[in-house]
Amino acid sequence: MIRICFHGSESTGKSVLAEKLGRELGLPLVPEYGRTYAEAHGTTFSMADLEAIAAGHEDAVQAVTATGAPLALLDTDPLMTAAWAQMLFGTIPAALLDYPKADLYLLFDPDVPWVEDGTRLFGSASERTRFAALAEDLLHQTGVRFERISGSWAEREALSRTIIAGLT
C-alpha cells in the first residue's frame, strides 16, 4: 500500500482536503487522530497525550493497511505529532520518530488564512511560521520524500490531485 500523508502546521487545509479527495477518489482515509483526541480530552496536552495520539493514529493506519487497498491518505501521522512535541515541549521522544513513515508527504504551507476551530493553538503569524518550519525540518531530518503544497485552496487541491494521480 502506498501511503500519502498530509503534513504541516494547523489550519492549512489538510483535513478538509484529505477527506474530500478520499471521498471523491474512493481512497481509504485515516483521519487525524489528534483532533478526535483533543475533542475528547481537551488541548492541554502532556507528552503522554502525544504518545497516545501517535499510537492511536498508527492503530488506524494498520487497520486501513489490512484492507489491502493500493493507496491510502493519512491526515497527518506520528511525524506530525513529533512536531507538536517539539513545539509544545522543546523535545521529541524517540518513540514518535520510530513509527513507520508514509511513502510520500504532502507538506502544506501556512500561506492561507488561519481558521479557529476550537482545537488549534498556534494562530499568530510567528507561531505558524515556527510550527511550519518544525514540521518541514522533521521531513528533512527523517529523509522522507515530500512535495510542497501551497497557494489558494483551489491550487492546493489541483496540485494534490495531480500528485496523487501520478501514484495510481
Residue 120: what pLDDT? 53
Given this model, what pLDDT does residue 114 score?
62
The predicted pLDDT at position 11 comes to: 81
pLDDT of residue 111: 87
- What's the pTM? 0.90
Segment holding 55, helix H or strand E: helix 47-65
Strand partners, 30: 74
pLDDT at 127: 82
**Dihedral, CA atoms, 159, 163, 165, 168, nearest 10 degrees?**
-160
Q: In whole angstroms, what is the distance from residue 35 CA to residue 140 CA? A: 25
Q: Are 82 and 90 in contact (CB under 8 A)?
A: no
Q: Would you say 71 and 163 are in contact if contact means Cβ atoms under 8 Å apart?
A: no
Domain ranges of the chain: 2-165
Q: The domain 2-165 belongs to what CATH superfamily?
A: P-loop containing nucleotide triphosphate hydrolases (3.40.50.300)
Rounded to whole angstroms, the Cα distance separating 115 from 123 reads 8
Q: How far apart are the first and last CA of the chain?
A: 11
One digit per residue, pLDDT tens: the chain, 168 residues? 999 999 998 788 899 999 999 999 999 999 999 888 988 888 889 999 999 999 999 999 999 999 999 999 999 999 999 998 999 999 999 999 999 999 999 999 998 776 666 555 555 777 888 889 999 999 999 999 999 999 999 999 999 999 999 997
